[in-house]
Each structure stands twice: as structure tokens, then as C-alpha cells.
Structure 1
Amino acid sequence: MFVAVTMLLVAILCGLAVVRELRRKNLFAVGFAAISMAVFGWFSIATIVTYISSGGTQGIPM
């Protein structure tokens, strides 16, 4: 669960970077930050959903 929360924090920071770089009109950095936000956000949400749906056993069969 620690990894999921860490990835979610990274995704939030990437979202802030997207906004900051849009203000600076640096589209190359906006692209990288947006892709990073999408990837880290997807994996963090998928990890959290898997953790919740498996009952907190982290994929270990019961």
C-alpha cells in the first residue's frame, strides 16, 4: 500500500508540474509531465483498487 500512496503523490506532483509548465508555455515539459501523471496515476489507482478488492491480502489467495 505504501507504493500505491507514493505513486499517487508523484502523480499529484506531476499534475502541479503540468499547470506550472502550461503557464510558462513549455509544451515539451507539459507532455512529459502529463504522460508521467497518467502512468503514475493509473498504476496507483489500479494498485489501490486491487488492494481493496483482495481484502488487503495483496493478491495472496485465501
Structure 2
Amino acid sequence: MGLVIIFALVTLLAGYSSFTALKNKNFLGLFFAAATFLVFGWFTFMTVWKDGYPI
């Protein structure tokens, strides 16, 4: 449960930083933020899908 929360928070922060980097035209920051968003988003999705969300 705690792992899903941490992954979800990192995913949300990476999504926000992707938007901010795109708005500021910081392409290196955009690359790393988008990569973090994709990787941690995938980890979040697969953790919820495989282990399920506790009732």
C-alpha cells in the first residue's frame, strides 16, 4: 500500500514538472521528467493491477 502511494506521488510530481519544463522550453528537464513520469506511472499501474488496491 505504501509503495503505491509513493509511486503515485512521484508520478504526479513528474507530470507537473513535465508540464513546467515544457512551458519553460527546458528540453533536457522535459526529457528527464517525461521519462520519470512514464517509468513511475508504469510502476504505479502495474503495482495496482498485480497486487490490487487494498479494501
Q: TM-score, normalised by structure 1?
A: 0.79
Q: Which residue of 2 aligns with 1:48?
A: 48
Q: Which residue of 2 aligns with 1:36?
A: 36
Q: Which runs of 5+ in 1 are unaligned?
A: 57-62
- The one-letter code of the counterpart of 1:51 is D
Q: Which runs of 5+ in 2 are unaligned?
A: none
Q: CA RMSD in A?
A: 1.5
Number of positions where the alignment pairs a residue of Structure 1 with one of Structure 2:
54
- The one-letter code of the counterpart of 2:51 is Y
Q: If each structure's helix is expressed as a fraction of its own residues, which one has the higher value?
A: 2
Q: Which residue of 1 aligns with 2:12?
A: 12
Q: TM-score, normalised by structure 2?
A: 0.88
Taking every aligned residue pair, what percent have the same amino acid on both sides? Answer: 32
Larger radius of gyration: 1
- The one-letter code of the counterpart of 1:46 is M
